[in-house]
Amino acid sequence: MKVLVIGAHGQIGRLLVAKLQVSQHEVTAGLRSTSQIEDYQEQGYQTALVDVEKDITHLQAAMKDQQAVVFAVGSGGKTGADKTMMVDLDGAVKAMEAAKKADIERFIIISAIGAQNRSLWSYQQRELSTGNYYYAAKYYADEWLLHSGLAYTIIRPAALTNATPTGKVVLGPQLDLTVDNKVRTITRSDVAQTVVECLNQPRTINQAFDISNGDILIAQALAKLSS
C-alpha cells in the first residue's frame, strides 16, 4: 500500500518510516517543516508537507494518491492543554475528515493505553498520571475515528520506552495498567512494527486494542483478534 505517516519526525514516526521503507509498502513521510523534509529526502525518503494545525484542504492535498494514513502525531510532553487539543484532538479529526475526502482505504491512529476508559483518567480516579486533557484528547479522537466510516485501527500502547524491541506483545480490548505490580510498557520500535503488521493483516481493520510488551509475536497476536 501507499502509506502516508503523519508525524514522521516523532520518535515512533521515525522508526515507522524506516520499517516501511524496507517493507512491501511505499511510504511517504509526512513532515511539518521544510528543514525536516530536506533531512528526510537526503535519507532517501519520499516526503510531503503536512501540518495538522492547517486546514483540511492542506491535509487532503498531502493524501493525494495515498491508500493508508497513519496518524502518529503527538504534541509532546512539554506542551500545554491548548496545543494538545489542537494537535492530538483537532489535528486528528481534521486528518480523518481529509482522509474521507481523499478516499483513503485505511486509517491507523496511535492512541494511549486506557484512553477508552474514563474511570482511569477523569473525575476522582486518575490512575493514569498524564494530564486529564491528554487522555480526553485521545478519547475523543478515537471516538471520532470509530464513527468516521473509515477502515480504522486504533492502537493504544502502554508506557513507551526506547529499550531494545522484543517483537513480542500482549494485546486486548482493555489491559490492566500494571502486571506483576509494574506499569506495563512497550518499546516504540515494537509499536512501529505493530503498525506495519496491521497494514499487512486485514483482520486488524475496525479493531481497537491496548498493547504492551508480552510473550506473543506481534503478527501472531494480531492474527488472534476476533473478526
- Measured on CA atoms in the order 185, 172, 180, 120, is the torsion positive or negative? positive
User: What percent of the residues of the chain are helix, what percent strand, and what percent coil, each to the nearest 5?
Assistant: 40, 25, 35
Q: Which of 45, 123, 133, 134 is catalytic?
A: 134
Cell triple for 216: 506473543
The reply to whether 45 belongs to the active site is: no
Spatial contact of 41 and 20, defined as CB atoms under 8 Å apart: no
Helices (H), the chain: 11-21, 34-42, 56-62, 81-84, 90-101, 132-146, 188-200, 218-223
For residue 194, CA distances in Å to 99, 138, 172, 177, 220 come to: 21, 19, 13, 19, 11
Q: Which residues are catalytic?
A: 134
